[in-house]
Amino acid sequence: MDDDFPAGAKLGPGVEKARKNSRRMHQLRTDFFEEGKRLDAEGDPDANCHICHGLIDYDAEPGTTPDSHNLDHYYPVSTHPELQEDWDNFRHAHTLCNQQRGAGAINSGGLGELVPDWW
């Protein structure tokens, strides 16, 4: 358990890299999903997809359907690994929008245009 890991601790770049898929990140994803779900219940637009601004299906398990919730990093982890676990870098997004965005720039696309092969 790393529950006693200080939340605000400053970590060196090497430490950040080593913590990629950590339990802490898993917890952050869960917390972020719960926050979005709560905002959505209140009708807060911050709960919507930051890429296409559409409503996210918070009833679905995250990552299971195209319009289910996905944690998107505003600054991609590939270019900003130090922001991977930075809550301020998290954005609510559709699973599909996040996939289409990849590590590239945000475009105006969204649900209803492209359907991925796996769907």
Q: Which residues form the interface with Zn ion (CB under 5 A)?
A: 49, 51-52, 54, 94, 97, 110
Question: CB 8 → Zn ion: shortest distance, Å?
Answer: 31
Comparing CB distances to Zn ion, the nearer of 48 and 85 is 48
- 3-state SS, the chain, equals CCCCCCCCCCCCHHHHHHCCCCHHHHHHHHHHHHHHHHHHHCCCHHHCCCCCCCCCECCCCCCCCCCEEEEEECCCCCCCHHHCCCHHHEEEEEHHHHHHHCCCCCCCCCCCCCCCCCC
- Residue closer to Zn ion by CB (options 15, 116) is 116
Cβ-closest residue to Zn ion? 49
Cβ-based nearer residue to Zn ion, 73 or 85 = 73
